[in-house]
Amino acid sequence: MTVTHDRPNASASARPSASGSSARPRRRRPLIVLGLTGVVLLCIVLSIAIGAKPIPIGDVWAGLVSPENSENDVIIRSLRVPRTVLGLLVGAALGIAGALMQGHTRNPLADPGLLGVEAGAAFAVVLAIYSFGVTDTLGFVWFAFAGALVASLVVFALGSLGQGAATPVTLALAGAAVSALLGSFTSALILMDRQTLDVFRFWQVGALTGRPTRVIWEVLPFLIVGLLLALYNAPALNLLSLGEDVARSLGQSVFTTRAIGIASITLLTGAAVAAAGPIGFVGLVVPHVARIFTGPDYRWLLPCSALLGGSLVLLTDTIGRVVVRPGEMQVGIIMALVGAPFFIWLVRRRRLAAL
């Protein structure tokens, strides 16, 4: 994976100029999508093959195509494949949500985790566990949406309030404050009820294990709607990145664009958090890497972010199975260990360029 290797390029193309992308990435884009699809496939194979019990590549293929109920086939079909699919979906959702947030807030540090949207969804889920005794994902989803929506509205409101535009710093801080506040409410609920704590602490770290297969089917419709809204949002977001006034003068309704963006972010983040718990930094890292390949055009950036997000989560999850054998390290933890240095590197760059 090319998470942090292409640094010179990253800083250059992460700063989209008004003149748009250069011709080079434009011509190569279809090839890039093809390449990224290859990366995803590789990550899928690794995710199925590596684990507590390593499975040879040949058996992986056999288990997928012609299962014979051998031990490996059972592991593959009942454990590894659902987990892989879930990771793919969650990663894609968070990657797109991150790209949308960076676009709408014009903030290179935007990420559903850092800006408090995941914390909003997480608090709502705990509220669901505690007050309403909800235990299934389909119940979580609606609460997660409500929490994610409220949190993203707060963040966006802070972005538009005050004098002048919100700086990257303001938003990151607002996100930290919202996360801290919701975090303390969350722990208040947990403290009142040990059973909630026991459910919550496993869910809180962000993991792909222990989620029943039907979770995938339950969140899938929401993810699809969120994805379609995001793709529909892309051309408008391209206009918006020229500035609100320019977009308005070109006949674009800024309000509608923002509303669709928030709806999409809410659906994608809410569904991802309901399915796998809060996984931070995917939405931060992925769009920056994707921009290296695609340039600033959101019609290409969003699909590439989905592919990269899926690969990143799968890869991280696979690493998590290997590093602390015989135990596992949850994907959310590894993601923080990978993502935070990336975040700090972004912060340390000379100019904290706004998007």
Nearer to another protein by Cβ, of 86 and 178: the residue is: 178
Asked if 289 and 3 count as a contact pair (C-beta separation under 8 A), the reply is yes
Count of residues touching another protein (by CB under 8 A): 53
Query: What are the structure tokens assigned to 235, written together?
Result: 């051309």
Rounded least distance, CB 42 to another protein, Å: 26
54 binds another protein (CB under 8 A): no
The angle at the Cα of 177, spanning 101 to 170, to the nearest 5 degrees, equals 55
Our finding on whether 52 is near another protein (CB under 8 A) is no
Do 272 and 93 touch, CB atoms closer than 8 A?
yes
329 binds another protein, rule: CB under 8 A: yes
Cα angle vertex 134, ends 131, 136, to 5°? Answer: 160
Residue of 10, 76, 114, 215 that binds another protein (CB under 8 A): 114
- The piece of 192-200, 214-222, 225-233, 303-311 that touches another protein (CB under 8 A) is 192-200
Q: Which is nearer to another protein, 238 or 269 (CB)?
A: 269
150 is a site residue for another protein (CB under 8 A): no
Bin 162: left if φ > 0, else alpha if -120 < ψ < 50, else beta: left
Q: Is 197 in the site for another protein (CB under 8 A)?
A: yes
Rank residues 229 and 289 by Cβ distance to another protein and give the closer one: 289
Is 344 a binding residue for another protein by CB under 8 A? The answer is: yes
Instruction: Tell me how far, at minimum, the Cβ of 291 lies from another protein, in Å.
Output: 20
Q: Which of 31, 192, 259, 322 binds another protein (CB under 8 A)?
A: 192
Residue 272 interacting with another protein (CB under 8 A) = no
210: left (phi over 0), alpha (psi -120 to 50) or beta: left
Residue 166 found at the interface with another protein (CB under 8 A): yes
> Quick one: CA dihedral 36, 4, 12, 169, positive or negative?
positive
**Spatial separation of the C-alpha atoms in residues 340 and 42, rounded to whole Å:** 25
